[in-house]
Every structure is written in structure tokens, then in C-alpha cells.
Amino acid sequence: MAQQKSAGQIVKDGLWLDNPVFTQVLGICSALAVTNLVLNTMVMSAALVFTTALSGFTVSLLRNITPRRVRMMVQTLIIAFYVILFDRVLAAYWPDMSRSLGPYVGLIITNCIIMGRAEAFAGSNPPFKSMLDGFFSGLGYSFVLLAVSVVRELLGMGSILGIPVPFLSSPGFDRWIIMVMPPGAFFTLAVMVWMFRSIKKRGEQKAGGGK
């Protein structure tokens, strides 16, 4: 039996070493779709953290009674349950944000990170550790998305969280419309992945004695 990860290792893996976006390259579709506004990205990230953590917990809780042959159907059911719950909470208590995010919240169901964590971790680990793993994988996804959204909103709209930024929001600065559009997300995400991987590699080389 494989050795179980410690809580500290789960945190480090989710946030950095095994980051879902720049190491595993998962969840890219939504990373491209919602990152043109920082506020939308924050809410989307909160939805993903909520869903990954709780679906991991539930999948793990049911792991000993879930038949192996239908485990992925059960995982999808659990993930869809939490996503619909979050979507409904938004529609009832934050209607403006619900309208703004539109179909993207529903699409969290298809996010590979959640299914990936359920299959790779929650199916063979205890509930609390699975929740921790989901939570920090979600946070790892969130911080990369936030970095992308800050760049896109700044250059594309001249604002952060809708608040105009001096110079970038002035008539003298031509807003980079492409940053608000899907190609802007591809460029920014690619640069971010390259940047984070380089930093990670440098850290690993230092730890390994500078080889």
C-alpha cells in the first residue's frame, strides 16, 4: 500500500509542487473563460474550492461502499450536486454575480481538476485529508487564475475589480482589447505557466545542489 501523504505535503502539492494548472495543465477551459475580470475569477475560484473540497470529502466518505464499476458516475453525481448547490446559492443571494457568470458555474462540473482529485486522491484516502487535498488543489488553481485575471483586466480594461487604475484607464492609454478576448487568455496563461514552471525548476535545482 502506498504511503499516505502528510497534511503539510498535501498543502505543498496542491499549491505548488503538483499545481493543477501549471504542473498538471488541468482546468484550462474555465481558466480561459472567466479570467477577463478579477471579481468573476474570485467567485469562480471560490466555487471551485468549495466543490473540490466537499466533493473530495463526500467521495472519500462513500469510498468503501461505492461499487468500483460505477465509481466515476457516482463522482460526477456528487460533483454536480455541489455545483448546482453553489449555482442556486448565487442565484438566490447574489443575483448580479449569477447573471455575470452565466453558464460558467454549471461548467465547473466538467472541470478536470475536481474529477482528477476525486479519482486520484479521494477514492483511496480518508475524508478529512481528501477535503484538505481538494481545498488546496482548488487554491492552487485559484492563485494562477487570479494572476492571469489581474493582467487581463489591467491591460484590457484599465481597472482592477472595476476600479480604474491611473494611467491604464486614461484616454492616453490604448486598452489592449485582445486581453479581454479569448486569445488574450491563451497568451497570458502560457506566459504564467512558463514563469511558474521556471521558478519551480530553479527551486528544485537549488534544492538538488545546483545541477
**91 lines the binding site for other proteins (CB under 8 A):** yes
Q: Out of 1, 2, 3, 92, which residue is the one contacting other proteins (CB under 8 A)?
A: 92
Which is closer to other proteins, CB of 183 or CB of 203? Answer: 183
Q: Out of 23, 24, 100, 110, which residue is the one contacting other proteins (CB under 8 A)?
A: 100
Distances (CA, A) of 83 to 90, 110, 133, 173, 184: 11, 10, 18, 40, 27
Count of residues engaged in binding other proteins, rule: CB under 8 A: 32
> How would you write 71-108 as a 3-class SS string?
HHHHHHHHHHHHHHHHHHHHHHHCHHHHHHHHHHCHHH
**23 lines the binding site for other proteins (CB under 8 A):** no
CA dihedral 89, 91, 95, 99 (to 10 degrees): 130
Which is closer to other proteins, CB of 44 or CB of 48? Answer: 44
Q: Out of 44, 53, 118, 157, which residue is the one contacting other proteins (CB under 8 A)?
A: 157
Q: Out of 17, 42, 72, 84, which residue is the one contacting other proteins (CB under 8 A)?
A: 84
**164 lines the binding site for other proteins (CB under 8 A):** no
Distance CA 110, CA 20 (A): 15
Class of residue 182 by CB neighbours under 10 A (exposed 0-12, middle 13-18, buried 19+): exposed
Minimum CB–partner distance for residue 127 and other proteins (Å) = 16
Minimum CB–partner distance for residue 81 and other proteins (Å) = 4
**78 lines the binding site for other proteins (CB under 8 A):** yes
Distance CA 112, CA 207 (A): 31
Closest by Cα among 107, 113, 123 to 52: 113
Angle at 140 between CA 157 and CA 105, to 5 degrees: 60
**69 lines the binding site for other proteins (CB under 8 A):** yes
Minimum CB–partner distance for residue 70 and other proteins (Å) = 4
Distance CA 82, CA 91 (A): 14
List interacting residues with other proteins (CB under 8 A): 36-37, 40, 62, 65-67, 69-70, 73-74, 77-78, 81, 84-85, 88-89, 91-93, 95, 99-100, 102-103, 153, 156-157, 177, 180-181
